[in-house]
Amino acid sequence: MSEPRVPGGDDAVELPCGETRSMSVFDLGMREYDCACGERHAVVTDVNPPERFLPEFLVGTLREAVETTSAEMPEFGTPHLMGIVLEEFPEQVVAEDASENPDMGYSMLWITGFDSRRLHEIIVELVIELMEHAISHAEDSSAMTQFEEQMLQFDVSEFVEQYRAERDLDADDVYV
């Protein structure tokens, strides 16, 4: 059975809401798609750096600490972040392999049932869970206590708001 096609001849992408769009609608600069269903869907590609969601120092720490098993993606990055989101929310994330279409400029495309801000919050929340799990295996129980105390004071929504303002991620990022 062949893949669905849409006018224009490129591959169709079925969005989490059930709408179908041409893959060519999703370009490299897109962060969010304003869908005909009335919702906004976050758009992420494998060429988006993980710093889109996390500070550079944290990305560096994750790259040092997280061992990947992928020969194609040996360094922790956006595909790994989106894999964590996909694992946690399989019905809310569509992953498309665009590697057969070199005109796209990316190899992987993820479209979520969440808007870009909510996706950002989810990624931060999941990375915190990952960090908490890693610290729970530390021999130093005070490290876990200290981490838990710090997380009680950490507001994910406030962090995302400040981070997005600093990186100006809400300006001109929506496409129809």
Integer Cα distance of 123 and 54 in angstroms: 9
Q: How far is CA 124 from CA 70, 81, 113, in A?
A: 23, 10, 17
Q: 22-58: per-residue pLDDT in tens?
A: 999 998 889 999 999 999 999 999 999 999 999 999 9
Predicted TM-score (pTM) of this structure: 0.84
Per-residue pLDDT band for 98 (boundaries 50, 70, 90) equals very high
Q: 110-147: per-residue pLDDT in tens?
A: 999 999 999 999 999 999 998 888 787 777 778 778 88
Phi and psi at residue 147, to the nearest 5°: -60, -45
What pLDDT score does 1 carry?
33
